[in-house]
């Protein structure tokens, strides 16, 4: 491999001649050979948006030549096409401030800009300087948390929320369709009073409504950007009004209502916005776990389980048992939920470990957050398209379970009292008889009275024909 020589304040470093990164990127690449998790590309793209906005803000503030700002912008636009992804090789497990990834972006923009301007990578003097031009009015301490919030807000709006809403809407359609399908309820995994399958599904819809509301509520804090706080939040080396100008430009570039953080000390020293948004994702994961597990158990069988609903049969389920089909979409989404909850634990530890003027767990926190947000979005869509959309009731099983349930006796409480109703249930269970037979044999109700009082249609809280 051919190399060229780059330098930083610590001296000279050999860099692959075909790469645009510089000395600090190479040092990080050499010093942090930890795992294979690269800095998420969403962060790189967020940096490109930020660097473009910062260049024009600096120009507007009179501290950067407009031609340099345009050159920086041109490189950022190319980064955003995805054609330069290989120029960002650094792993997540680096400095906790994300400084090396900030410098990776700065160096790539500076070198690529110089080449775009007609220069060569091995020129001693270049059109752009990574610190003095690309990083002007900035510190890694305010750029990295800004990139975190941009990336987090975008993935929630573009992937997590729309895909979770898709699942929510399908569940709502099923709820309406199944509203008059009477089935037996279950509490403590034991028979309970009847409800409808639609009512059961309406609970799932409400869970997702509340979860999505929690996610949306977290966007407000994420919209506050740290940029302009500089090293510790005081704004050292930052021109007046730069923070407001750059936030406005980022908002214009993204179409998202970003604004400058109300307190820069908070936005550098903590990552509470990410902690809050991760907590919202955890809430959504908890709901999804409950919903998926219900569907797993309701569809169990096909002959020896509950079997009250059919789910699509997508692929063979066993390498040894012919004809077996498993609830694989349920298994996938519940594994995702477990991962999201684990990610949130790591994020919480990172969030609580910020010290003095800077939190230094930022790369880990945003890596886990983006992982969670992406996984939930993809899992919701897969679960929707390959499972929920095809759910249908198994009426034979549903009706059989309703007819066999002892808890229909609950309807008699207000007529013959709790203790007499319990006698009927116990006798029916012990002697393997129907509730009707037990009630008549105990002399507590006639056949006609039993039919009038014990009617599942009258026990579900809605009018059913």
What is the four-CA torsion angle of 205, 208, 214, 217, rounded to 10 degrees?
-70
Q: Which of 36, 83, 188, 319 is catalytic?
A: 188
Structure tokens at 108: 């790539």
Q: Which of 17, 318, 353, 446 is catalytic?
A: 318
CA–CA separation, 70 vs 315, rounded Å?
A: 53
Distances (CA, A) of 460 to 101, 188, 201, 243: 58, 19, 14, 58
Q: Is 274 inside any structural domain?
A: yes
114 a catalytic residue: no
Indicate if 311 and 190 belong to the same structural domain: yes
pLDDT per 10-residue tile (average), the chain, 465 residues: 93 97 98 98 98 98 98 98 98 98 98 98 95 98 98 98 98 98 97 98 98 98 98 98 98 98 98 98 98 98 96 93 94 98 98 97 98 98 98 97 95 96 97 96 96 95 89
Indicate if 74 and 115 belong to the same structural domain: yes
Q: Is 119 inside any structural domain?
A: yes
CA–CA separation, 48 vs 85, rounded Å?
A: 12
Indicate if 442 and 416 belong to the same structural domain: yes
DSSP readout, 329-392? HHHHHHHHHHHHHHHHHHHHHHHHT-BTTB-S-HHHHHHHHHHHHHHHHHHHHHHHHHTGGG-E
Indicate if 172 and 306 belong to the same structural domain: yes
Indicate if 221 and 366 belong to the same structural domain: yes
Q: Is 233 inside any structural domain?
A: no
Indicate if 338 and 433 belong to the same structural domain: no
Of 48, 154, 151, give the one whose Cα is nearest residue 367: 151
Indicate if 199 and 76 belong to the same structural domain: no
Give the total number of structural domains in the chain.
3
Q: Report the CATH number that the domain containing residue 175 is assigned in CATH.
A: 1.20.200.10
CA–CA separation, 25 vs 326, rounded Å?
A: 47
Indicate if 177 and 215 belong to the same structural domain: yes
Q: Is 54 inside any structural domain?
A: yes
Indicate if 314 and 344 belong to the same structural domain: yes
Indicate if 431 and 367 belong to the same structural domain: no
Q: Cβ distance 95 to 360 under 8 Å?
A: yes
Q: Is 244 inside any structural domain?
A: no
Instruction: Choose the final residue of a domain: 102, 136, 170.
Output: 136
CA–CA separation, 288 vs 293, rounded Å?
A: 8
Q: Report the CATH number that the domain containing residue 431 is assigned in CATH.
A: 1.10.40.30
- Quick: pLDDT tens for 201-245: 999 999 999 999 999 999 999 999 999 999 999 999 999 999 999
188 a catalytic residue: yes
Structural domain including 428 reads 405-458
Indicate if 268 and 313 belong to the same structural domain: yes
Indicate if 344 and 437 belong to the same structural domain: no
CA–CA separation, 73 vs 112, rounded Å?
A: 11
Quote the DSSP letter at residue 135.
T
pTM: 0.96
């Amino acid at each position: 491999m051919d190399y060229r020589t780059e330098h930083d304040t610590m001296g000279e470093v050999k860099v692959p001649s075909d790469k645009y990164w510089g000395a600090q990127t190479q040092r990080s690449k050499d010093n942090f050979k930890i795992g294979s998790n690269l800095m998420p590309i969403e962060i790189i793209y967020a940096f490109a948006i930020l660097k473009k906005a910062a260049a024009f803000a600096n120009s507007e503030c009179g501290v950067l030549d407009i031609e340099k700002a345009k050159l920086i912008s041109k490189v950022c636009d190319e980064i955003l096409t995805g054609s330069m992804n290989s120029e960002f090789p650094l792993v997540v497990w680096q400095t906790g401030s994300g400084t090396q990834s900030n410098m990776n972006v700065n160096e790539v923009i500076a070198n690529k800009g110089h080449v775009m301007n007609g220069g060569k990578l091995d020129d001693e003097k270049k059109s752009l300087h990574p610190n003095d031009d690309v990083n002007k009015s900035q510190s890694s301490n305010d750029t990295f948390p800004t990139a975190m919030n941009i990336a987090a807000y975008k993935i929630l709006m573009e992937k997590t929320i729309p895909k979770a809403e898709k699942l929510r809407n399908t569940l709502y359609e099923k709820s309406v369709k199944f509203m008059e399908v009477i089935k037996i309820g279950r509490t403590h995994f034991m028979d309970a009073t009847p409800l409808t399958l639609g009512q059961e599904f309406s609970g799932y819809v409400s869970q997702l409504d509340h979860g999505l509301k929690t996610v949306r509520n977290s966007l407000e804090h994420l919209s506050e950007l740290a940029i302009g706080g500089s090293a510790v939040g005081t704004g050292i080396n930052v021109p007046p009004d730069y923070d407001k100008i750059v936030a406005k430009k980022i908002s214009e570039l993204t179409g998202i209502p970003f604004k400058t953080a109300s307190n820069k000390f908070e936005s550098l020293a903590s990552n509470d916005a990410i902690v809050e948004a991760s907590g919202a994702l955890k809430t959504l994961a908890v709901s999804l776990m409950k919903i998926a597990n219900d569907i797993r158990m309701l569809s169990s069988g096909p002959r020896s389980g509950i079997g009250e609903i059919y789910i699509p049969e997508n692929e063979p389920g066993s390498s040894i048992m012919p004809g077996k089909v498993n609830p694989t979409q349920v298994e996938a989404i519940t594994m995702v939920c477990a991962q999201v909850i684990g990610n949130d634990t790591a994020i919480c530890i990172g969030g609580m470990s910020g010290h003095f003027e800077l939190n230094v767990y930022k790369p880990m926190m945003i890596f886990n957050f983006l992982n969670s947000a992406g996984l939930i979005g993809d899992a919701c869509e897969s679960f929707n398209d390959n499972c929920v959309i095809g759910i249908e009731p198994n009426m034979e099983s549903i009706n059989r379970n309703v007819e066999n349930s002892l808890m229909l006796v609950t309807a008699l409480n207000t007529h013959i009292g709790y203790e007499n109703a319990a006698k009927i249930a116990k006798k029916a269970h012990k002697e393997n008889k129907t509730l009707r037979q037990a009630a008549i044999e105990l002399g507590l109700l006639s056949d006609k009275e039993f039919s009038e009082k014990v009617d599942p249609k009258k026990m579900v809280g809605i009018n059913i024909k």
